[in-house]
């Protein structure tokens, strides 16, 4: 037997017997085994030829098993406290777990129920109940779960696939049993550090036409220290929630009169959008992109040709019937319109690469349960680019794109990036040689860049490989930002061609690229990354001048005029209310600079400077020196681009 990569002489028939032969201190945190590459319970029966690895509780596999076991204990606690409860599914999440329930008599969980359920879970943990696996035939399993309709539906699906295969169940008491593949921790005592977090609604199997269940979320870690750190992380995340900051800063809101997932931007927020978009548009023009604009509606025939009605109809808004029977759809993507721009005239190799760019608003019918502030909306504006190039140009265009994308994101103060190359999935379309060519071009472009990247084997789109750029933000959260998606299908579906130097008709390659992803989502990510204190060059108001009293108002207006003459955006807060309150208000607005001027500043030509984030005001700063500083710190970033 091989144990953790080393030969081990053992006659153990079960994993528990194997662990008993090892020093006790070395196995106290082992919760499962990986046998011949498969995760199994410690009680798993072993063979002398097996390759065995120990799975410890603080490893990714160990934490996933721990969280899965917590989900079972959650279900057991709910069934104890709410007789007649139906339990559906309870998978793990990135940091924890959830379980879906339907309570009798349409009873709803209250927030106050969570503490009672959590207390019951701790009683179950203290009972040190073992997780015991067994296998049953389908008929026996259906009989066992006769009072649990969601489990019976799962079993019915298994029966349709193969009724002869046994199913596995887990008991961790005589009164509770769950349908599960496992593995689990050896007993409930291993579940030492968990919390229940919140309750939400969830449709059975994500289908709005199915019963609405109640989902209880929790999180779990190997140690109390890790749990405390996660609680601090959650607290910081809530402080940075862009939905709360957006309301406090008067940037945007979601009016019920318009509908869910559709944001209205107020003047301050709309100005930030304007600055983002104008900066991006100018940099694209500098980099050799051509502007395009496409309508918000299109006939169904366009989306039949593109394949969106075949592959993406569930995410599209319903059509409108116009023009004596023609169906018009709000556009879900900008790419079909850009393809029409390409195909509007014959193209030569001399025209390529053709880089089209548009801030195009699209509409996607996201399910209400998936909407989340600006991060997931139904109306979104993409900074969308589509690049048409010859095969020989593909690798160079991808290299250019990677540099352009990263440089643009760095202009917004973002720095911690990595990339992911997603390769051909099992279910895909297209020629093997084209897939290999496109994948190798993407890999070579990444190799030539200064970005660390990983390969997600089989995670590409069904029609081509892609590169995703990820950002790690100020508190360690990882966001997917830009996507570079090679497309081998749309040029073929639309019959795109270009004439090469020998007058042959060839098909161009196409690259989809959204740099921000969407303006709305990027706005939200920036807000949370900076906790609302956005880079000053984006803001409508960069400086607020506060006169201490009325006699200093004339100097305050002179200060503001001098700042405006240097293209700084400034306002004056009149001396009517107490100074301390006006300073606090300006700081709550997260302005880069708050200038306080009094009677002593008038003759000296000075200002008192409150810099955003600084603990104290700096007095007696010469106005010219301040303006020179502000012009540097508030300047729009300079970006060198390659045409």
Q: Annotated catalytic sites, by residue?
A: 335, 364, 382, 384, 386, 466, 512
Determine the distance from the C-alpha atom of residue 309 to the mean position of all C-alpha atoms in its chain, rounded to a whole number.
Answer: 26
State which H helix or E strand residue 86 sits in: strand 86-87
Q: Residues 6 or more apart from 17 whose CB is under 8 A from it?
A: none
Return the DSSP state at 636: P
Residue linked to tokens 């195909």: 343
Dist. CA 121–CA 499, nearest whole Å: 70
* 250: three-class secondary structure by DSSP: coil
For β-strands 453-456 and 417-422, DSSP reports them as: parallel
Strand positions, DSSP E, 428-579: 453-456, 466-472, 478-487, 498-499, 505-506, 509-514, 543-547, 570-572
Torsion (CA) 333, 335, 341, 342 in degrees, nearest 10: -170
CB 439 within 8 A of CB 430: no
Return the DSSP state at 453: E
The response to whether 72 counts as a known ligand-binding position is no
Return the DSSP state at 11: -
For β-strands 498-499 and 478-487, DSSP reports them as: unpaired
Dist. CA 193–CA 152, nearest whole Å: 32
| Phi, then psi, of 65 in degrees rounded to 5 | -65, -45
CA distances from 461 to 36, 179, 405, 511 (A): 31, 33, 21, 13
How many other C-beta atoms can be found within 10 angstroms of the C-beta atom of residue 125? 20
Structure tokens at 491: 């040029």
CB 9 within 8 A of CB 31: no
Dist. CA 430–CA 439, nearest whole Å: 13
CB 534 within 8 A of CB 499: no
**What length is written for the chain?**
643
**Of 509, 188, 488, which is closest to residue 353 (Cα–Cα)?**
509
Strand order of the β-sheet with 618-622 is 570-572, 543-547, 593-597, 606-611, 618-622
Return the DSSP state at 1: -
| Phi, then psi, of 515 in degrees rounded to 5 | -80, -55
Dist. CA 101–CA 88, nearest whole Å: 6
Structure tokens at 192: 């030492």
The response to whether 335 counts as a known ligand-binding position is yes
The response to whether 386 counts as a known ligand-binding position is yes
Q: How many helices (H) and strands (E) would you count in the chain?
A: 20, 32
Structure tokens at 597: 């001027």
Dist. CA 400–CA 192, nearest whole Å: 50
Residue numbering of the annotated binding site for Zn(2+): 335, 386, 512
């Amino acid at each position: 037997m091989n144990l953790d990569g080393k030969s081990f002489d053992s006659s153990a028939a079960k994993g528990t017997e194997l662990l008993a032969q090892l020093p006790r201190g070395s196995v106290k945190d082992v919760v499962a085994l990986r046998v011949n590459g498969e995760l199994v319970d410690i009680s798993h029966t072993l063979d002398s030829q097996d390759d065995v690895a120990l799975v410890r509780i603080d490893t990714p596999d160990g934490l996933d098993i721990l969280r899965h076991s917590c989900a079972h204990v959650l279900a057991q606690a709910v069934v104890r406290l709410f007789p007649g409860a139906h339990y559906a599914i309870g998978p793990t999440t990135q940091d924890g777990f959830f379980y879906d329930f339907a309570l009798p008599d349409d009873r709803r969980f209250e927030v106050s129920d969570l503490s009672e359920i959590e207390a019951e879970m701790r009683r179950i943990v203290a009972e040190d109940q073992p997780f015991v696996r067994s296998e049953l035939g389908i008929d026996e399993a259906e009989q066992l779960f006769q009072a649990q309709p969601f489990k019976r539906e799962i079993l019915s699906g298994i029966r349709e696939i193969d009724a002869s295969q046994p199913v596995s169940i887990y008991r961790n008491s005589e009164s509770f049993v769950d349908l599960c593949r496992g593995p689990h921790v050896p007993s409930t005592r291993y579940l030492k550090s968990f919390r229940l977090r919140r309750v939400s609604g969830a449709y059975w199997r994500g289908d709005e036409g199915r019963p609405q269940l109640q989902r209880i979320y929790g999180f779990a870690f190997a140690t109390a220290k890790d749990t405390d750190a996660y609680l601090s992380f959650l607290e910081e995340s809530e402080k940075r929630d862009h939905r709360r900051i957006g309301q406090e800063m008067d940037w945007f809101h979601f009016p019920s009169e318009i509908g869910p997932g559709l944001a209205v931007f107020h003047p301050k927020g709309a100005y930030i959008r304007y600055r983002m978009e104008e900066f991006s548009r100018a940099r694209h023009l500098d980099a050799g992109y051509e502007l395009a604009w496409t309508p918000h509606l299109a006939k169904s025939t366009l989306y039949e040709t593109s394949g969106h009605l075949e592959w993406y109809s569930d995410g599209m808004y319903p059509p409108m019937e116009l023009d004596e029977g023609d169906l018009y759809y709000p556009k879900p993507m900008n790419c079909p319109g850009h393809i029409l721009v390409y195909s509007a005239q014959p193209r030569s190799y001399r025209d390529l690469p053709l880089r089209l760019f548009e801030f195009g608003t699209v509409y996607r019918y996201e399910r209400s349960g998936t909407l989340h502030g600006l991060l997931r909306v139904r109306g979104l504006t993409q900074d969308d680019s589509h690049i048409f190039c010859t095969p020989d140009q593909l690798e160079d265009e991808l290299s250019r794109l990677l540099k352009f994308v990263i440089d643009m994101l760095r202009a917004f103060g973002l720095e911690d990036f990595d990339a992911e190359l997603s390769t051909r999935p099992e279910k895909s379309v297209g020629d093997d040689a084209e897939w290999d060519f496109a994948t190798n071009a993407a890999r070579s472009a990444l190799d030539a860049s200064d970005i660390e990247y990983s390969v997600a084997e089989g995670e590409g789109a069904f029609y081509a490989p892609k590169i995703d750029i990820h950002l790690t933000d100020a508190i360690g959260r990882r966001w997917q930002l830009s996507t570079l998606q090679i497309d081998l299908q749309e040029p073929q579906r639309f019959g795109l061609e270009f004439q090469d130097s020998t007058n042959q008709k060839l098909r161009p390659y196409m690259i989809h690229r959204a740099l921000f992803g969407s303006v709305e989502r990027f706005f939200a990510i920036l807000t949370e990354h900076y906790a609302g204190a956005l880079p000053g060059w984006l803001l409508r108001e960069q400086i607020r001048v506060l006169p201490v009293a009325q006699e200093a108002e004339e100097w305050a207006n002179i200060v503001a005029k001098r700042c405006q003459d240097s293209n700084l955006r400034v306002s004056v807060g009149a001396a009517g209310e107490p100074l301390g309150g006006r300073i606090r208000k300006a700081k709550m607005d997260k302005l880069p600079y708050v200038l306080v001027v009094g009677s002593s500043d008038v003759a000296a030509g000075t200002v008192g400077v409150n810099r955003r984030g600084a603990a104290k005001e700096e007095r007696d700063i010469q106005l010219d020196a301040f303006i020179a500083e502000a012009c540097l710190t508030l300047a729009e970033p300079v970006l060198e681009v390659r045409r």
